[in-house]
Structure formats: C-alpha cells, structure tokens
Amino acid sequence: MRKSSDFEFDDLQGLLHFGYGKLTDTCFMLLNIANVDAAKRWLDKAPVSRAIKTNPPPDTALQIAFSVQGLKKLGVSESIINGFSDEFIYGMTRNENCSRRLGDIGRNAPKYWKWGNNSAEMPHILLLLYAKKGGLEAWRRTVEDEHFSQAFQLLRHLPTSDMGRIEPFGFEDGISQPTIDWTCRQSTDLHERDRYSNLLAVGEMVLGYRNEYGQYTARPLIDPRKDRYATGLPNAEDDPTLKDFSRNGTYLVLRQLDQNVPGFWQFLDKVSGSVPEKREQLAASMVGRERNGTPLIAEHIPGISRKDHGNHFTYDLDPTGNHCPISAHIRRSNPRTGDLPPGVTGFISRLIKILGFGQKPEEDLVASSRFHRLLRRGRSYGPILAPEDAVKLDAPVAEHGLQFICLVANISRQFEFVQNAWTMSSKFSGLQQERDPLLGNREPLMSGESTDHFNHPEPSGPMQKTCNLPQFITVHGGGYFFMPGLRALKYISALPANGSDHSS
C-alpha cells in the first residue's frame, strides 16, 4: 500500500484528480502551432495546474493536451510517438470501420463534423481554461500573453456554458465517477475480487502505473543514454533504467455532441400522450436516473433511498431490467458487472463459472466493468432550456450539447469499447434492434435490421416498446489527445527544432 502523500500529484495535471466543478466558467480552445520556438517558450512558462489540493482552492486552472500532430510539430521523436497506442496515433476517424464501430455513420459521419474530421488536420493543442464566475476574461488575458499570440493560431473556440450540474436535456450529470485507488488499497488479482467495485487501479486512468490487469499499459519509454533531454523525466516503474515519457499523463478523449433538446422532449411528449408524468418516466428510463439524479434502481436496493443519489448499487437484483431498462444510458455505459455473474459466492460455484459451465442465457455476461471505466470531465454548452419549455412547439432554437471529455489510459479498451460494444451495440446484453436511447444513431444494421426501438418496463406492468426513436444526439467533432505530466511538458518545451538529434 502506497501513502497518499507518496503519490506524485505535483507531476499530474489537475483534471485527473478534480472536476474543477467550482470553476464554473470555461474556455476550451483548439490551437495550431504557428511558431514552434514561441510555442515552446510559452509551454515552458505556462501556468499549468497540478493535482495538488490547496487551501483556499484555486480561482483558475489551465490544462494542456496535445494531438499526435502537435507532438510531432514540437519535435517529439518518431520512437516516442511509436510508443503510444495506435488509436492515439491514427485517431478517432482513422478508417471507416472505426467510424462504424463508434457509431459515426449517417448524420454522425466525420465528413459532416465541424472539426477533427480528418486525422491529418487535427488541431495540435487543446487548451482548457477554468475560472470562478466572472473570472474568465482576466484569466484569458494572463494565459494569452505575448508569446501566446506569436505561438498559436486559434482554430476553434469550443462553446461551453455554466449549467450547474444539469446537462442540456435537464438531467443531473457527473454523479457516477470511478474512485481512483491512489494508495493501492485494492488488489487487482482476478480471483481476489470478482465483484463490482467503484475503486479502480491508478493505471486505468494514469499512464505509467499498474492497471486492473496488474500490468502497465503500452507507452513510450526512453533510453536516457540515447536522449539527453530525457534525464528530467520520471523513471519507468517496471524498468528504472528507462525513462517514462507518459508517466503521470493520460489520454483525453473529446467529442462535441450536439443535443436536440426540443426534439427529445417533443418526441417523449408525443409518445406519452402529453401526460407529463408519463413523459418524465420515459425520459428517466432512457437515462436510468430521474432528472434529479435518483437511480431508478434506488427503490429496490436496501440501503439507498430514492432521495439519495447514492452510487452504491449494481443491477444484480434487476437482471431483466424491470426497474432500470437494460438499454438505459447509465446501464449500458457502466453495467456494473463483476468478473463473474451475480450470486456466485462459494468456491465450487466460482470454479464452475470460471470454467464456463452452468451459464444460464440471462447470465450472458457483459464484460467485467472494471476494465472499461471512464473518468468523465465534460462540460455542457448552450442556453438552459427547461423540459417544460422544450416540449412547446415554439421552443427557442439554439445549439445545445456536451463537450464530452473522458480521461483513460487505454483508448480502445475503455472509451472505444464503451462506445462500440455497449452504447452503440444493437445486441448489448441480449437486446435487439436498439442502441443507447440517448446517444445512439438510428442507422439500420448492414443486414437492414432497424435499431430505433427502446424496450422499457412500465411501472408494475409488462415491458413496453417505443418505436421509431429519432436520433437526439449528433457528433460535431472529436479527437484523441495526450495530456502529459508536468515533467513531460518540460521535456517537450526543451526539445530542439524538428528532426534534430536527441542523442548525447
């Protein structure tokens, strides 16, 4: 067990540790590097916020992440780049197959995106600025100093707005997050813990540490004898003769998701016969929580009251989705499964399950959740439109959405898996003809089978089916970034110009 104070929080960008929820005003910028030397001078002095708790908490924060194109532009060597995962190197739009798996087809296809639609033209840098209410303009002036304007070209300013904890459809968001096991309290050994747990190995979110497999996610390691700039980098935990460029860094996944708020509520209103309670019930069953955040499963779990947002539940007592539909957004994006089906306790029954015998069809085991968790750090955009106003046919027209951000150590096993195998899959957990009722595109399968259905229980009644679900969310942009540790940031800013020899 590691002491919390032993962890290198001062080398971690703060977003890995805090959501910066009190810093309500944000400015997300996509930048290209116009002048490499000026960019390095700015990066060297940039007031990047670390994951250290301060008293009082900070009034502002700044976080930086790079696309692979940005790292290359700054002179990071091919051998380091090649140490990153293929998904990061080749990007979110790397080929049609990838787009299909991520659900980026039809209206979501990258050719319609506002940015990021072509890996080769990915913005170099993502800058995230946070400030207390009213403090953003002053913070921008501090960050955008004279080097900044020389160094960067602003490609796009991603909209964000302060909607409190409520996302544009009107639901409380940001409730369920994994707890990172900074002190290594919990074993990652498969057979010591096969129940769902919210506690997650550091290496699931931060590169350079052991992950839930007890291993190190693939990452760029440097031989310091061959790279004189690498001496200030942290040692690789599993091989101290090497330097770990990625340690204390993470991958940042960004998706700009447009939400059709009037379209969502007007559809629900129509299919629920304009009965407000029915409309609310249907909306809640699509999310898996009521608008105030109460999980639908709450009534049925001893120990959590309906008023309690409590996140301490699983779906073990609701295997067929009678209380929370199997397809509900929160159930798809985190089915809260353990390594073995629920109810398996004794040595013999565990052995039988491990060997794969005696599996009932309803126990069709959705992959164990602990390998597929996301640390969500997105922000909403657009004006607040209450559901009661959104149902009106003359609801004001405006852009609403979510700048979805998640931090992960393995893009394919975490973000891409959740997006593909869980939220977009029309076969998730034995379901058919439906995708995530909130997120899903409604494109038919290649076989022609439709995907625009939603099966959900009626309170104390039989299962209901809603058909012809429109698409409520459209992708407007996206990309993968690397958010380095502070020492790696220093390494980048000290590098010589492109192609120079790094050897000592």
Among 25, 167, 443, 452, binds ligand HEM (CB under 6 A): 167
Q: 345-364 as b/e, with b when 16 or more CB fall inside 10 Å? A: eeeeeeeebeeeeeeeeeee
**Should residue 283 be labelled a site residue for ligand HEM when binding is judged by CB under 6 A?**
no
Distances (CA, A) of 242 to 225, 247, 261, 398, 502: 9, 12, 51, 52, 15
Residues touching ligand HEM, count (CB under 6 A)? 25
**Should residue 426 be labelled a site residue for ligand HEM when binding is judged by CB under 6 A?**
no
Among 108, 246, 334, 429, binds ligand HEM (CB under 6 A): 334
From the list 466, 498, 480, the residue with the least C-alpha distance to 419 is: 480
Distance CA 344, CA 346 (A): 7
Give the N- to C-terminal CA distance of the chain in Å, as an integer. 38
Contact map string, positions 254 to 273, toward ligand HEM, x by CB under 6 A: -x-x-x--------------
**Should residue 159 be labelled a site residue for ligand HEM when binding is judged by CB under 6 A?**
no
Contact map string, positions 444 to 483, toward ligand HEM, x by CB under 6 A: -----------------------------x----------
Comparison of 17 and 40: residue with beta carbon closer to ligand HEM: 17
Among 46, 105, 155, 175, binds ligand HEM (CB under 6 A): 175
From the list 452, 374, 174, 169, the residue with the least C-alpha distance to 284 is: 169
**Should residue 176 be labelled a site residue for ligand HEM when binding is judged by CB under 6 A?**
yes
Comparison of 104 and 167: residue with beta carbon closer to ligand HEM: 167
**Should residue 30 be labelled a site residue for ligand HEM when binding is judged by CB under 6 A?**
no
**Should residue 330 be labelled a site residue for ligand HEM when binding is judged by CB under 6 A?**
yes
Among 202, 287, 324, 469, binds ligand HEM (CB under 6 A): 287
Q: What is the number of residues in the chain?
A: 504
Residue with tokens 């991603």: 158
Residue with tokens 């076969």: 427
Token readout for 419 is: 């997006």
From the list 304, 308, 307, the residue with the least C-alpha distance to 317 is: 304
Cβ–Cβ under 8 Å, residues 424 and 108:
no
- Contact region with ligand HEM (CB under 6 A), list: 113-121, 164-172, 345-353, 387-395: 164-172
Comparison of 147 and 370: residue with beta carbon closer to ligand HEM: 370
56 cis-preceded (ω within 30 degrees of 0): yes
Which residues here bind ligand HEM, judged by CB under 6 A? Answer: 167, 169, 171, 173-176, 255, 257, 259, 287, 289, 329-330, 333-334, 374, 402, 404, 418-419, 423, 438-439, 473
